[in-house]
């Protein structure tokens, strides 16, 4: 992987579980547990890729609702190809940099569009993540820690 600066990737098309977990701040890591989880749904995403879909609720939860998301990964090397969460942390801080690095897409399935906190303006998150740092929310951290 080549870096533009300390945090932002250039031409990134996959990322490791370890990178995402290690790049996530300790506050989110601590808030990722305990969480009310249901076993994730694992399906074939085609082309040798696997999709893990989750439905988690943090305890405590600021939004007071379950969050939904997924990870699509390559079965051969376990590198993550695409990632998404319906939480506001994702929407306000992480969605734009993930799309810019081909780790997420604006073109979501209807079931995820319906659960998203708002329709993203597809502009940089200048205030909440000005360096476009790549890390994950507590829901995705929980998924990677316990199910991936």
Angle CA(14)–CA(17)–CA(19) in degrees, nearest 5?
80
* Residue-number span of the structural domain to which 47 is assigned: 2-147
Residue 9 confidence (pLDDT): 47
The count of domains in the chain is: 1
User: Is residue 79 scored above 80 in pLDDT?
Assistant: yes
Give the Cα separation of 33 and 53 in Å (integer): 18
- Does the CA dihedral 134-23-44-52 come out positive or negative? negative
Residue 61's pLDDT band (cuts 50, 70, 90): confident
**Residue 143's pLDDT is what?**
94
* Alpha helix positions (H), the chain: 17-22, 26-31, 88-89, 95-100, 110-113, 138-147
Maximum distance among all alpha carbons in the chain? 39
Q: Per-residue pLDDT for 113 more than 70?
A: yes
Residues paired with residue 41 on neighbouring β-strands, in sequence order: 53
What's the pLDDT at 148? 84
Handedness of CA 79, 83, 88, 94 (dihedral sign): positive
pLDDT tens, position by position, 17-39? 999 999 999 999 998 887 878 88
Express each pLDDT in 87-97 by its tens digit: 999 999 999 99
| Burial class of 49 by CB neighbour count within 10 A (0 to 12, 13 to 18, 19+) | middle
């Amino acid at each position: 992987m080549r870096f533009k600066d300390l945090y932002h990737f250039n031409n990134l098309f996959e990322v490791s579980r370890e990178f995402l977990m290690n790049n996530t701040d300790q506050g989110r890591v601590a808030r990722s547990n305990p969480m009310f989880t249901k076993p994730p749904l694992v399906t074939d995403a085609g082309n040798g890729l696997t999709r893990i879909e989750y439905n988690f609720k943090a305890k405590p939860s600021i939004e007071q609702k379950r969050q939904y998301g997924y990870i699509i990964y390559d079965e051969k090397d376990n590198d993550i190809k695409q990632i998404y969460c319906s939480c506001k942390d994702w929407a306000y801080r992480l969605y734009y940099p993930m799309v810019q690095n081909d780790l997420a897409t604006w073109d979501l399935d209807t079931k995820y569009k319906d659960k998203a906190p708002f329709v993203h303006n597809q502009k940089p998150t200048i205030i909440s993540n000005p360096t476009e740092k790549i890390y994950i929310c507590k829901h995705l951290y929980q998924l990677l820690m316990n199910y991936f």
